[in-house]
Structures are given as structure tokens and as C-alpha cells.
Structure 1
Amino acid sequence: MFNKRQRWIPAYYRDIPLGCLLRTTQRSESMNSFFKRFENPRGTLVEFWLRFQSAMDQQRYTQKSLDRDSDLCLPVTKTMLHLEIHASTVYTHALFYEFQKQCVSSLNSCSAGDSSRDSTTRFLDVEDAILRTTYIVAFNPTTFDAKCSCKMFERKGYICKHIIWILSDFFTCGC
């Protein structure tokens, strides 16, 4: 049980939307180290403020340069999936590379299982060869709503390889 401790927190926050973004003491520790650079026991409030403003200007500059890079150049795609090509235009580079891992993994590890239909929703079992698990994807072709039982979108904010596999199959065969 102790060897699986890295999975404790994600399992606990599985049903909380974007729960993977929650941090424990890491955030407060990084804030403390950020502010320690500006404090001086003999310094004045004005000195602290000037150092703080300088650091904020540096962060703003870094953020603007990253935004400019995302706007001016598109990342290289690894698959010919229309979904990946579209994601390269709307996601930031960092988020796109996380999404791209899911795209590549969907082609390498997912396969079809059983399927059933509701009045408007298709329920498909997607077998994940890497994780050796079957996930249920609910897909509504009229509204393009999709939900997966792995709940990656709810936790991390981008769709999982199981949904990508269903969507790529849907758009390829024209179902």
C-alpha cells in the first residue's frame, strides 16, 4: 500500500473537477521562497516594494514572451488526427504537448469493445492495452458531448485518449 502512495491523492480527488490542480504545501513553500528573496531584516518597506515590483515585472515579461511564442508558432503534430491539428491552434504549447501524448497513446493502446445505444447517446467500451482496463465512453453525436469513466477531463482539463480514440473513429468512418 505504501509503494502506491503516489496514487492516493489523485484517487481521493477523482470526483472533484480539476482536482489535480490542487496542491498541498508545495504552493505555500514556493510562495515563501519567492518572498524570501525580497526580505531583509534591516530593509525598509520601500526597498521590499521595489524588489517585489522588479520580480513581478520579470514574471510579466516571461509570461508575455511565452504568450507570443504560442501565438506566432504552432507546435509540430505527430499524428494526422484533425483533433490534434485543431488543438495545436487553440491550446498553449505546454497543454498541447500533454494533449498530444494522449493522441499518440490513443492510436497505440486503444481498441473497441462492446457498444450500446440510448435514445441519443452511444456507450462504447474502450479497451486500454497499456493500463489493461476497459473504460466506458458516453458519446452524444448530436451535441458532441463525451464523457469517459476515467474522468481525466474533469480532473486535468483536457480529454483522455479514450475519448480521442472514439472521436477519431467517429470522424474517420463518418458515423
Structure 2
Amino acid sequence: MLGVNNHGQTIVLACAFLSKETTESFVWMFEEFKKAMPGGEPKTIITDQDAAMAIAISIAFPTTFHRLCIRHITSKFSVKLPRDAYNEYWREFQKAIWDTDNKDEFDAKWNIVVTKAGLTDHPWLSSMFDLRESWVPAYARQFFAAGMSSSQRAEGCHGFFKQYISRRNSLMDFIIRFERALSHQREKELVADHVDAFEVAQCLLPMPMNKQMAILYTRTMFQKFEQELIESTACFLELKTEDACKVVFNVSERKNWETRVAEVVYVKDSDHASCSCKRFEFVGIICKHILALFRRDQIEYMPEKYILKRWKKTAKCGLVSDANGKEIKDCADPGLLIKRSTMSRIASDVVKDALMSEEGCEVLSQTQYMKDPKRVRCKGRSKGVTVAKEKAMKRGIRHCRECGHIGHDRRQCPALNTP
């Protein structure tokens, strides 16, 4: 299971070996995850359309918003739709999905393009429309997800770990390699922490609010905020309605030769502004439309309620307690990380040296504390023919026919070449 830290980096929260991808297995995994993460259930979890996992999430995380990966769904349009209909109407489907801020607008645009394409009775499109609350941005944007709408981070993380591990690793070798990869990932986070602790990001706009956020936010999050602040200068406000309770503005912006309009509502009693784009709710960073209103009202400093702690440099400060109220200490202490990295390298060198001789292999293999798990076929794995290299690995290590040792064959045997 993956998450996002205060630098916007992908981090591993937990991992588990599952012999079967069933509902029961996923429920067990999620329950163990809750024990390891005492902060409560996650606000949002993003998965593909796995039915067993969906049921397990509803059981283990009843209050968590389960979002379906939008990229997995949109990539199927080219396969599920007739070729002519896809080529002609895919752009309109894209606009309906990505360029709408509210539910009614999406429903109207979707129905228009489906009718034009003659696909009102298409079973797959109908099923996706029925699931729209789980994947369409206009329906899902009000749930915080650190800006994620797909499982692309997970796929990128898989590519990162594949540099260190493979399916041919034994269990112990996998653990060593996986720990090494985690150490390298954690090192990037420590580097970002160090940069933020000793450097302040340079502001492009000389404004008190910009300087305030440069001090509070991590470098990556400040860059996202400043981009919104810069784009707010190109937004135009128009008063829509006003009464004793609230003021409503239409905020328009010109982008890609199109004018888009967002609605900003300011509630007077609570002194709170919200926007139809839902960027603050979804990403946790105030949007350009509200910033345009702040600039109009000459608000110099960002109110504290719009600054999420999770994007601050001080996000990791404070105590974390388990279910019994006992403090959980940070296991990512730099000194401990250095020791673990050093010990991992030593262990890796010992394994490499042992592999060079039979005596070394025998010493390390005398006592088996843990056996490798049985290999199982994962969902989605192709049923292609096993490559020749994998077949060779299954046959095991070849021994010399003359002396019985490994590392050479009969033609290169030292016993035959000895004068």
C-alpha cells in the first residue's frame, strides 16, 4: 500500500505476501494495516476494478471513499467502443470527464455525447455511467486524495522496485533487496527534509502571502501553491449574487482558447470561501479562483484554516500514539537508517561471498529458519510461453560431469587439464 508524504513523494506504507487474491485475504491484509497505522482509516483508497478487493474495502474501511483508477477505465474506451464511434467521439468523452466541475454538468454532457454516438444501449458505457460516483472527477473531487485520481504512482513504484528484486529471488534474498530499496527511497525523503530545513524557496511573486507559504510549505508543495497564485492573476471575478449570508462570484479564466468559469462562494458568518473546482478538498492546496478573490479583497496572509499541516515542513512533528495511547517512536531516525543501510550492505556482501564456494553455501544453509513461499499466479499475469531463461533456471545449477563441482563444465574441468 502506497501513500504520499509532505514532499509529494510516493512512499510505501505497508506490504504483504498473499497466497490468494480473495476477499478474505484482502480483509486480513487491511486489518493488519490498521494495526500498523493507528491514525484511523484512510480518507481515500484507489484501486482497479477488482471485485474481491472492493468487497474487502467495504468491510475493513467502511468510512473510506473507494475510488476506481480513472486511467484504467479511460484506457478501455478504445477497446470497448466501436472503432468509428471511438475515433469520432473520444474527444467529447474526454471533455465530459475532465472539463466539468459539477455532477449535473457531467451527466448532461455524457448523455449528449452518448446519444450523438448512438451508444445509449451500450452495456459497458451504461455500467461505467452507473459507477460514475467512484471514478468521475466531478463526483469524486470532494474527497481528499492528495491530488491522485489513478494508480499511476503504484505502477511507477513497481518499476522502481523491479530494479532491485525479481520473481526469481528467494524469500530471504527478496527481503534483503526490498529493504535496500526502501532505504534508498527513505534516503530521498531525508534529503528533501534536509533541503527544507536549511533552505527557503525563492518566490517569483513579491507578495507577503507568497513569502509566508515559502516558509511554511515544503519546496514541492510551495511550487504547486505558487503556480496557483500566478494563475490567479489571469482570473476575472464577476459578482453573481449577494445576500445577507453569502456572496457568489463567477471566476473566469482563458485557457487553451477556451473560457472556463468556476463558482466561488463566500459565507460571511464563517468567513469561509469555497470553489466549485474542489481543488482544496481534493489536493489540499487553495485554488487560483479563491486566491483571485483574496487578491481582490487585498488579503495579504493566508488564513490558517486553508493551510494543511500535511504539506508543511513540520508535518512530522508531534506525537503519534497507538490504540493503547502509547507513543510510537519514529523508526526512521537518520542514525538508525545509516546503521541499517550499513548492516544490509554487510549482509549482502556475506551472501555474495558465500555463493562463490560450496563451503560458504553450506554454512549459510545449515539452518533454515524460513522457507520460500509457494509461487502463485497473480491476477492479470499473461499465460505466455515461459522464456528459455526461466526454463534454464528451473533445471537448477549445472555440475561438471568429471569432478562434480559447479562453475565450469567438462571441457574446462581443471582435473582433465592437470598435467
- Unaligned ranges ≥5, structure 1: none
Q: 2:279 aligns with which of 145, 152, 164?
A: 152
Name whichever of 109-118 and 32-41 sits farther off. Answer: 32-41
Q: Which secondary structure state, in structure 2, belongs to the residue aligned with residue 171 of structure 1?
A: coil
For the Cα contact (< 8 Å) 1:124–1:136, is it kept in 2? yes
Q: 1:14 aligns with which of 127, 138, 161?
A: 138
Name whichever of 141-150 and 67-76 sits farther off. Answer: 141-150
The one of the two structures with greater contact order (alpha-carbon pairs below 8 A, sep at least 6) is 1
Q: Which secondary structure state, in structure 2, belongs to the residue aligned with residue 30 of structure 1?
A: helix
Instruction: From the superposition, tell whether residues 32 and 62 of structure 1 become closer, same or farther in structure 2 (CA, over 3 Å).
Output: closer
- TM-score of the aligned structures, taking structure 1 as reference length: 0.80
Over the residues paired in the alignment, what is the CA RMSD in angstroms? 2.7
User: How many angstroms apart in 1 are the aligned matches of 2:228 and 2:166?
Assistant: 43
Q: 2:208 aligns with which of 71, 75, 82?
A: 82
User: How many angstroms apart in 2 are the aligned matches of 1:133 and 1:157?
Assistant: 22
Instruction: From the superposition, tell whether residues 91 and 115 of structure 1 become closer, same or farther in structure 2 (CA, over 3 Å).
Output: same
Larger strand percent: 1
Residue 147 of structure 1 aligns with an amino acid whose one-letter code is: S
Q: 1:100 aligns with which of 207, 215, 226?
A: 226
Q: 2:248 aligns with which of 103, 123, 129?
A: 123
Q: 1:113 aligns with which of 234, 238, 252?
A: 238
Q: Which secondary structure state, in structure 1, belongs to the residue aligned with residue 266 of structure 2?
A: strand
Q: Alpha-carbon deviations, 1:66-110, whole Å to 9, x = none?
A: 012122211111223333222212222112111111111111x11
Residue 113 of structure 1 aligns with an amino acid whose one-letter code is: E
CA drift at 1:122: 2.0
CA drift at 1:62: 1.0
Residue 65 of structure 1 is matched in structure 2 by 191
Residue 152 of structure 1 aligns with an amino acid whose one-letter code is: R
Q: 1:3 aligns with which of 79, 86, 91?
A: 91
For the Cα contact (< 8 Å) 1:110–1:162, is it kept in 2? yes
Alignment: residue pair count: 170
- TM-score of the aligned structures, taking structure 2 as reference length: 0.37
- Among the aligned pairs, what percent are the same residue? 22
Q: Alpha-carbon deviations, 1:31-57, whole Å to 9, x = none?
A: 44344332352x432222111111111
CA drift at 1:9: 5.5
Name whichever of 44-53 and 116-125 sits farther off. Answer: 116-125
Instruction: From the superposition, tell whether residues 5 and 80 of structure 1 become closer, same or farther in structure 2 (CA, over 3 Å).
Output: farther
Instruction: From the superposition, tell whether residues 127 and 151 of structure 1 become closer, same or farther in structure 2 (CA, over 3 Å).
Output: same
Name whichever of 51-60 and 151-160 sits farther off. Answer: 151-160
Residue 54 of structure 2 is matched in structure 1 by none
